[in-house]
Amino acid sequence: MPVPKKKTSKSKRNMRRSHDALTVVNTITCPNCDSPMRPHRVCSSCGQYRGRQVKEIAQETENNSNEE
């Protein structure tokens, strides 16, 4: 089984890990419901994108089940 000949220095180890950092996810506020959402995506809380209703909301189905 292969074994490293020399100990990896802190500098080499850190240079290798320099691309492993996580990036912060950019968020904006939804103009309709003011909840945080990712840009260029449908709002997960209200289901609107660029002023149009694109996706049905799960809350509406919950309200229908409570009436029964």
Domain boundaries, the chain: 24-62
Question: Which residues, in sequence order, are CB contacts of 49 under 8 Å at separation 6+?
Answer: 41, 42, 43
- At 36 the pLDDT is 94
What pLDDT, on the 0 to 100 scale, is given for residue 59?
59
| Residue pLDDT, tens place only, 2-48 | 999 999 999 999 999 999 999 999 999 999 899 999 999 999 888 99
pTM above 0.85, yes or no: no
Contact between residue 37 and residue 28 where contact means Cβ atoms under 8 Å apart: yes
Placement of tokens 């449908």 in the chain: 42
Among 16, 20, 15, 42, residue whose Cα is nearest residue 31? 42
- With bands split at pLDDT 50, 70 and 90, how would you rate the model's confidence at 57? confident
